[in-house]
Structure 1
Amino acid sequence: MASIKKLANGSYQATVFIGRDSKGKQLRKYITKPTMKECKAAARELEQEIEEKRFINVDNVRMAAWMEKWLELNKESLAPSTFLGYKMYVEVHFNPYFGQLKLSQINEIHIKEYMNAKLKELSSTTVRKHMLILRRILEDALKHKSPCKDIKIPNKDDYKPTVLSEDDFKAIHDSVKDDPVMGLRDEGVILLAAWCGLRRGEIFALKWDDIDWKKFTLRIDESRSISEEGYIDKKPKSKNGLRTIVVPEYLIRVLELYRKSLKKITERIFPIRPDHFSSYFAKMVKTRNLPSIRFHDLRHYHASWLYKQGIPDHYAAQRLGHDIHVLKGIYQHLDMDVKSDIDNLIRSNFDEKKDKPFAQTVEK
């Protein structure tokens, strides 16, 4: 139970026992508030945190030590690639700036100075990611006292993905088809993205037994993801990622020919690192003077193709491994608005020459 006393300046101070140090010495935390009521409430809140084992004594903990502990505590709940991303933010960005400060010393000025410094060298979207991660790290330690809680973080940059035209895609497809050395492999990878809408990690996790050669279907149930141990196969984050999709017959034949061309059959269809293929694709696009796109834009191409064919949103979402609401967000990014198409359809189906306004009829 906290003890409370009135100070000479008229405020109230509560003393709360928070544990013992390594030598058995009692540790106390002092809370000062302007009124007895506020002081009691704050002391009760702290005692509740201690009782429920939510309290972390951070008065003398340096930010570097806490971030290392935070990564350790959250490692199992994060996807391997997400964990590596967070670890990079901590080591490359947060530690050089905050590492030697004690958690109790960090204030809003430090946070704002960091954010402004990063905005000079990084995009608004990237700095927003920094701030969201930093906010989470500090709130886990300081709860409602986090210096991030009242700071407005940057908005995302306007994102305009590249939408390939049919001619652009044909140029890319023809280029790999004509390659006598890597043509079958490259064509298979590119068509899985552009004709099936698979993510890069999904393509490079595919195994030969995922293909049903008679039904022309493909099972997607894993994705290649980077981790501390290198690339690993992992299950999709949500059930939407688990799916079986129909594959065009031409692509099935390409995969058959590719399999026959291999000297050694491996379990995975494309036993190479996903990031290596992305680099290879970027170099190929540049050296062959092809439309300047990222590999992921081929998946966008498939999303736009589904939209243009009038494929129902629920079917398209299932095929792409998305939630329906996420799919609609993608359509918006690709400047494909269902409402505007419907508006134009209504306009074109009402002919003013046949149906004159009532007011004009009365005047005559």
Structure 2
Amino acid sequence: MAKRRANGEGTITKRTDGRYHAAAYVYRPDGTRTRKFVYGKTREEVADKLTELQEKTRQGIPAASSTMAFGNYLTYWLATIAPERLKPATLNSYEGLTRLYIRPALGKKRLNRLSPADVRRFLTEFKASCLCCLRRADHERPEGKRGCCAVGKCCKRLPSARTVQYVHAVLRSALQQAMREELIARNVARIVETPTVTRKEVSPLDSAEVRILLKTARTHRLYALWLLLVSTGLRRGEALALTWSDVDLTNRQLRVRRNVQRIRREILFGTPKTTRSIRTVSLPQHLVRALAHHLEHQERERTVAGKKWQPMSGQPDGLIFTTQTGRVIDPRSLNRMLTIVCRNAKVRRVRVHDLRHTCASLLLSRGVDARTIMETLGHSTITMTLDTYAHVMDTTLRAAAERMDDALNLDDLDDESEEEASDD
């Protein structure tokens, strides 16, 4: 006689349509318990789903249901699913967009009742709403807090097209997971057309401005960093996470394999933005000399600091760019430093990321092909490179036209035609 399953252990039953389903008691996001069903084509498939469900229940992780409020589902998704698939910075931005904009507007809707019209209406209203007003939701700002919407005046600070697109991406990603868990039959956010984004033209420094900036920065303790950002186009987090073991000064190469970001109050080291961001970059000779000089200067700083040289817990050994006490540099402070350098150099103020654009623009102006620039910058696709820098490719396009003239060599044909005409 088969042993009877214990109460709450779950049951597996064959349905009349040939499929199997199982049921077990799980936790709701509000802490109460309910019975949840999972389905599959085979008994083994359902048994695996049931085991996963029970394991989450033992860990106290809530399970989602199709009738739960969409706001509760977002809480479940951000707490249990998203952390395993998203990088910390992306997860942090998703949480902010959800808390400020999505949950106040759609949070009370039932997950299985959310329609394309609901999503379309939300995006339309979001595009036309002031961000300050949206962040207030249905609560007034506390007294003493400054802000245009707190005193009855609206600043009309509308969300950018990129922000609208990003909010739509959060909805699409969350509902796609609900589909995978068979809570809904379709992803209504995918049915709604993605908002278009007009790409802004980048405003890099020109070669004259770069020379003035670097000349002024020569006395700065992080001169090698500014030169590195201009010469290689590394992202801010990639440059600050470099260690001396990543650099081969003899062969004039460096390896990008990690980055550093500030997430709320924590500074975290992680992997670069995309797979293609893990790359090897060749170094110009002037940068090799600057890095060698920086290494000597860092050794002197370490000697002067003595016991005060205390790297942050969790940071890699041998960081190239640190504070005067050996700690990793806060990525946010780099923009403030660059602002001061720009002011002293009397060039227009730019962000650290604009030095990456400057690198690409300088390479394009010297006729370097887009594929090489894509590999240098670590773009995921060449389309991104071409779309971002299309407006600064005049030199490359002009050179391509001149090469076509050389390839066709039509000048000789024109001369022959003129000679034939004169003979006639």
What does residue range 1-364 of structure 1 map to in structure 2 within 5 Å?
A: 19=23, 51=46, 53=49, 58-71=65-78, 72-120=80-128, 121-142=158-179, 143-177=184-218, 179=219, 183-185=220-222, 187-227=223-263, 230-236=266-272, 238-262=274-298, 263-264=301-302, 267-270=318-321, 271-282=328-339, 284-285=341-342, 289-323=346-380, 325-326=382-383, 328-329=385-386, 332-336=389-393, 338=396, 341-347=399-405, 350=409, 352=411, 355-356=414-415, 358=417, 361=420, 364=424
What is the CA–CA distance in structure 2 between the aligned matches of 1:92 and 1:204, rounded to whole Å?
Answer: 31
Deviation at 1:157, TM superposition (A): 1.7
Change (3 A) 1:133 1:268: same
Contact 2:342 / 2:348 at 8 angstroms: preserved in 1?
Answer: yes
What is the CA–CA distance in structure 2 between the aligned matches of 1:339 and 1:176, rounded to whole Å?
Answer: 33
Deviation at 1:191, TM superposition (A): 0.9
Give SS of 2:204's match. coil
Give SS of 2:198's match. coil
Contact 1:220 / 1:243 at 8 angstroms: preserved in 2?
Answer: yes
Give SS of 1:355's match. helix
Cα distance per residue 1:12-39 (max 9 Å; x no partner): xxxx98746669987799xxxxxxxxxx
Give SS of 2:203's match. coil
Cα distance per residue 1:182-205 (max 9 Å; x no partner): x131x2121111112211111100
Change (3 A) 1:278 1:99: same
What is the CA–CA distance in structure 2 between the aligned matches of 1:226 and 1:172, rounded to whole Å?
Answer: 27
Cα distance per residue 1:105-157 (max 9 Å; x no partner): 33333322321222121111220111122122123225443332321121012
Change (3 A) 1:298 1:132: same
Higher relative contact order (CA 8 A, sep 6+): 1
Equivalent position amino acid for 1:65 in 2: N
**TM-score, normalised by the number of residues in structure 1:** 0.75
Deviation at 1:250, TM superposition (A): 2.7
What is the CA–CA distance in structure 2 between the aligned matches of 1:171 and 1:323, rounded to whole Å?
Answer: 32
Give SS of 1:162's match. coil
Contact 2:262 / 2:331 at 8 angstroms: preserved in 1?
Answer: no
What is the CA–CA distance in structure 2 between the aligned matches of 1:232 and 1:296, rounded to whole Å?
Answer: 19
Other-structure match for 2:153: none
Range with greater deviation from structure 2 (280-289 or 60-69): 280-289
Range with greater deviation from structure 2 (216-225 or 78-87): 216-225
Give SS of 2:281's match. strand
Cα distance per residue 1:30-67 (max 9 Å; x no partner): xxxxxxxxxxxxxxxx7659948499863431122211
Give SS of 1:81's match. helix
Give SS of 1:154's match. coil
Equivalent position amino acid for 2:359 in 1: H
Range with greater deviation from structure 2 (280-289 or 17-26): 17-26
Change (3 A) 1:244 1:66: same
Other-structure match for 2:138: none
Contact 2:278 / 2:378 at 8 angstroms: preserved in 1?
Answer: yes
Equivalent position amino acid for 1:146 in 2: N
Contact 1:123 / 1:157 at 8 angstroms: preserved in 2?
Answer: no
Contact 1:282 / 1:295 at 8 angstroms: preserved in 2?
Answer: no
Equivalent position amino acid for 2:75 in 1: E
Give SS of 1:219's match. strand
Change (3 A) 1:93 1:288: farther
Range with greater deviation from structure 2 (314-323 or 80-89): 314-323
What is the CA–CA distance in structure 2 between the aligned matches of 1:274 and 1:140, rounded to whole Å?
Answer: 33
**TM-score, normalised by the number of residues in structure 2:** 0.66
Change (3 A) 1:48 1:300: same
Change (3 A) 1:144 1:226: farther
Change (3 A) 1:283 1:102: farther
Deviation at 1:354, TM superposition (A): 6.4
CA RMSD of aligned residues (A): 3.8
Among all aligned residue pairs of Structure 1 and Structure 2, give the percentage whose two residues are the same amino acid. Answer: 19
Contact 1:196 / 1:302 at 8 angstroms: preserved in 2?
Answer: yes
What is the CA–CA distance in structure 1 between the aligned matches of 2:371 and 2:203, rounded to whole Å?
Answer: 24
